[in-house]
Structures are given as structure tokens and as C-alpha cells.
Amino acid sequence: MNSVVVVGGGLAGVRAVEALRGKGYQGELTLVAEERHRPYDRPPLSKAVLAGERDDTTVDADWNALDVRLLLGERATALRPDPGPGSGGTVATTAGDLRFDGLVIATGAAPVTLPGDGAQRVVRTIDDARVLRERLAPGVRLVIVGAGWIGAEVATTAAAKGCAVTVVEAAGAPLANAVGPEIGRLTVPWYAEAGVELRTGVKVAAVEPGGLALADGDRIPADEVVVGVGVRPALDWLEGSGLLVERGVVTDASFRVTDGDGALRPDIVAVGDCAAWWSRRYGRRLLVEHWDTALNAPDVAAATLLGEEAEYDAVPYFWSEQFGRMVQYAGHHPAADRMVRRGDPADKGWGVCWLAGDRLEAVLTVRRPRDLVQARRLIAAGARVDPEAVADPDVPLRDAVRTTAGS
């Protein structure tokens, strides 16, 4: 392999570059990145950057040693794979055509926006965060659409800056899509405590100048509107490439894509927020839009490109900092058949474990980082636990493990 192109200059892109060099790849390496900034971390954007505590989140990488041709501010516009697995292809970009023997697709995701001709802000890039930060002044009426992770984090920061914050959510509870309404409802008091008005079950028809038009004909006036209703993989440039895309780029557990002839391509991998990868652990495809996957999965993608046998089999993990609380989640709960509460949500720290039978499938913790660490290990090991011990917050989770089935 003599020429590798990485498309996308987010965390997954830079980690792919580092992994390729780290594994001894010495050929040409080009990174095509639409943003003009060197790769940076996004999690602080809705937290420390918005709060004005940090301005720079650039990923610490030794670009000289990496010996990469960095095409910042350039976009990939099309992909033309040559027919036949392993035969490479061409990426068309705003800087011209690039031939490749190996390609990493790491174009991440872009925020979904709402209809309407009113100004709506999103928080995806550092530029978005810096602009919004300037608008968050005391008394500003900020309306946030979406009580998901980003909406809650932006509400936290804006309320602390003295804005009059309203969060509008179509579902019946915050975080309902991510963790289910029952758990999401437990976060409702956090909004009131912070002086944020939360309106659930409210459907927005459009963003108009001066505020929101609701589906029921009502209006919510706003000086600023932030939309946090989710993201979509940024894959428009793959149109016509023949690659199998179902929301994300479909890959196997080694991040190999499938081309228009239905063949797995060992020379084209997709990773990070744009990839829907096969999880052997869960027996289904996962599209995980979180930092930990963008950090760790590129190592496997790089190994695959270099012809090594590698599979990604991690337990998904993410965190959120909202309303003064560290919220962490590990696992994947759709297969669970019960939830066990761990501690009282009125207390400082609490959690929830999802079980399938007595196997620990997933955990959510609020200010209980030790539980998270222990549960993550147990989930990875497929451990079986005693639900009664899990329900007792004084019993360390690692001591809730059953050594023999049913014991």
C-alpha cells in the first residue's frame, strides 16, 4: 500500500492517521478536512468552550512526525472505487482528484436542522460554539429545541450565564430516545433546579424570525434558537459511489465497506460517527455517535487497511455533563428485559442497570464514576449479576457478580 487518503478531519480522522503511522505504514498519507482547523475535540464545545473556560480543543498530534499532507478547508465531493476488492480508486475533492490504494471514510455527522426561515444555531463546530458563546448574555431569551445530550448541556451553560432558557422537547421526557422515557423523566427536576423551563410533548413546526412556530399553532418568542435534535452521517459525497449506506456507511466488524458489486472492500474502511459497523457482541449493526468510538475504533480500521486481522468489539461508552452532574452510560440496552434502580434519584448519586435475565447489558450512572468503571468491565465480560445486590448502592457492582448461574 503506497497511498492512503483519510477523508474527514475530526477525531476519527486524526486517530486513523496516527494509527496508520503507529503500525508502520510509510507510504503517502493525505488528510482531507472540510474545516480549516486542525482536528479538535468536540465534547468541550457544549461545555467549557460555550462557558468561556476554554477556547482551543485541538487534538495534540505531532504533525511533522506523522508526515501527512494536510488538506484543510477542502472537501471530498465524490468517490469512485475501482472495480474489484483491493483495487483502490479515486476521491474527487475541491483540491483535485486523489488516487488511493487505501481509503478511510471518517466524515462524521452533521446536525439535523428544522424548517423555517428564522435563524437557528447548532453546536457542531468550534466556530458554532464561539459564535453562540458571544450571544449568551444575561436576559437573552434562548429557546433550545431538543432535550437530548446537547440540548441539556447548552441549557446548563446558558442558564449559568443568566439567559432565560426554555427547552422544547417533542417526546414526553428528556433523553427519551437515548435512554427511554422512564429514565429520562428522572432528569426533569434538574431543569427546574437550574431555572430552565422544560416543555415536553411540544412539536415545533418551524423556526421563524423572532421564535418558534409550534405544530398546534402556538408560538414561543426567542432572541436565539438552538436546535439540538440529532445528527445525520455526513455522506452526501458518497452518492453514486455504489457503497452500501443505510443511514451510516455499512461495514463489517473490521470496518470494511461493501461496494456496488456487493463485495467487501479491504481497501476502504469507514469509522467514527459516519459508520454503521457490525457488532459481533450485539449481533447487529451499531451506529455510535460518541467520542470513545471515534477515539478507539480507528486503530482497528487502520489495522484492517494494512491487511491485519482485527475486529472492533467494544462496549459503547459515553458521558455527558449537565446541570452540575456527570452522567455516564456504557453498554447497549435494547435487548434488556428489566431495569434495576441503584440508589435514589433524589440523592446526590444514583444509577440504573439494564439486565437481560441476569446478564448485565448496560448501565447509566449519575455522579457514580466507580459504578461506571466496574459495570463497563462486567458488561464487556458478559457477567451475570444478582439483581438484589445491584439494587443496593452500598454493594460495589463488582461484588454483585454471580459466580454460578442463578446463585
Q: Is 85 or 242 the residue whose CB approaches ligand FAD more closely?
A: 242
Judged by CB, which is closer to ligand FAD: 10, or 351? 10
Least CB distance from residue 245 to ligand FAD, whole Å?
A: 14
Binding segment (CB under 6 A) for ligand FAD, from list 7-15, 159-167, 168-176, 240-248: 7-15
Question: Under rule CB under 6 A, how many of the chain's residues touch ligand FAD?
Answer: 36
Considering only 18, 25, 42, 224, the residue that binds ligand FAD (CB under 6 A) is 42
Around 17, how many Cα atoms within 13 Å sit in the side-chain half-sphere? 30
| Edge-first strand listing for the sheet containing 141-145 | 197-200, 164-169, 141-145, 224-227
Q: In this complex, which beta carbon is closest to ligand FAD, that of residue 11 or of residue 155?
A: 11
Tell me the sheet residues that pair with 379. Answer: none
Taking the complex as a whole, the smallest distance from the CB of residue 399 to ligand FAD amounts, in Å, to 28
Site string for ligand FAD, 48-87 (x = CB under 6 A): ---------------------------xx-----------
Contact flag: residue 319 with ligand FAD (CB under 6 A): yes
Site string for ligand FAD, 229-248 (x = CB under 6 A): -----x--x-----------
Whole-angstrom distance, CA of residue 87 vs CA of residue 99: 11
- Judged by CB, which is closer to ligand FAD: 156, or 374? 156
**Can you tell me which residue has the cell 469507514?**
270
CB of residue 193 vs ligand FAD: minimum separation in angstroms?
Answer: 20
**Does position 33 bind ligand FAD by CB under 6 A?**
yes
* Closer CB to ligand FAD, 183 or 355, in the complex: 183
Task: Between 89 and 272, name the residue whose CB sits nearer to ligand FAD.
Answer: 272
**Burial of 71 per CB tally in 10 Å (0-12, 13-18, 19+):** buried
Only segment of 43-51, 133-141, 164-172, 257-265 that touches ligand FAD (CB under 6 A): 43-51
Closer residue to ligand FAD (CB): 289 or 361: 289
Single out the segment in contact with ligand FAD by CB under 6 A; choices: 95-103, 207-215, 259-267, 290-298: 290-298
Query: In the complex with ligand FAD, which residue's Cβ is closer, 107 or 120?
Result: 107
Grid coordinates representing 367? 455522579
Q: Within 130-189, which residues bind ligand FAD (CB under 6 A)?
A: 150
| Comparison of 238 and 360: residue with beta carbon closer to ligand FAD | 238
Torsion over CA: 130, 134, 139, 143 (sign):
negative
Taking the C-alpha atoms of 250, 251, 252 and 254 in order, what is their torsion angle to the nearest 10 degrees?
-160
Q: Is 290 in the site for ligand FAD (CB under 6 A)?
A: yes
Minimum CB–partner distance for residue 218 and ligand FAD (Å): 29
- Least Å distance, CB 330 to ligand FAD, is 11
Q: Which of these segments, 170-178, 243-251, 287-295, 387-395, binds ligand FAD (CB under 6 A)? A: 287-295
Whichever of 123 and 268 has its CB closer to ligand FAD, that residue is 123
Q: Which of 13, 88, 89, 174 binds ligand FAD (CB under 6 A)?
A: 13
Q: How far is the CB of 113 from ligand FAD (least distance, A)?
A: 14
**Residue 353: CB atoms within 10 Å:** 28
Using the rule CB under 6 A, is 16 a contact of ligand FAD? no
Q: Where do contacts with ligand FAD occur on this chain (CB under 6 A)? A: 7-13, 32-35, 42-43, 45-46, 75-76, 106-109, 123-124, 150, 234, 237, 272-273, 289-292, 294, 318-320
